[in-house]
Amino acid sequence: SSGINAEWPLRPGENKNASSGGPVAGITLASTNIQATVSFWSEILGLTVFDQSETSATLGIDQSQAYVKFVHQAEINHAKAYGRVAFSVPISVLADAEKLAIEKGFTILTPFVTLKTDGKADVSVVIFSDPDGYEICFVGDEGFRDLSQFDPEGSNLLDKAIDEDKSNEWFAKKGKSKSSA
């Protein structure tokens, strides 16, 4: 199996191999309009503004959790670095945040829905789009906590699925190997 090679901002005294479950201090994203970004993330999503200037802003749930920092950039191209930021929040927050976003004219990519998982907890989500097109997923904390329990067989199951995914055949048709991708 392979892992993601990313340089994450780490909490003081932590290392990227830490097993404490929380070594990442935060993430940094681009913003074409810091004020619009701060308004959306604080007024609609309820994050607290820790620091703000004309060219950057740092927000978060509280100081004990990872932050989201935005740095001004004239243009954002999501083509190769597009992803989704997810927050685990109480289910009671999901519908209220969705309603407020709709009232303020923001885009809801996935309206409030409860996803059924056979034999496991159901999880509720709402996926928002911020002013720069980032996807922000609010996941109901109650189901998320149940679904995110450590599975001692997880690594073996992932390795097995990767081995069986037939991507070797796809890469071979392209004249490449999976390991070189």
139-173 per-position pLDDT tens digit? 998 888 888 888 888 889 888 988 888 888 888 88
CA 124 distance to own-chain centroid: 15
Specify the pLDDT at position 167: 82
Q: Is the pLDDT of residue 113 over 90?
A: yes
Specify the pLDDT at position 81: 64
Reference 99, options 126, 137, 124, 122; nearest CA is 126
* DSSP code at position 9: P
Reference 71, options 86, 58, 60, 83; nearest CA is 58
Higher confidence at residue 19 or residue 149? 149
Q: 23-36, pLDDT tens digit by residue? A: 678 999 999 999 99
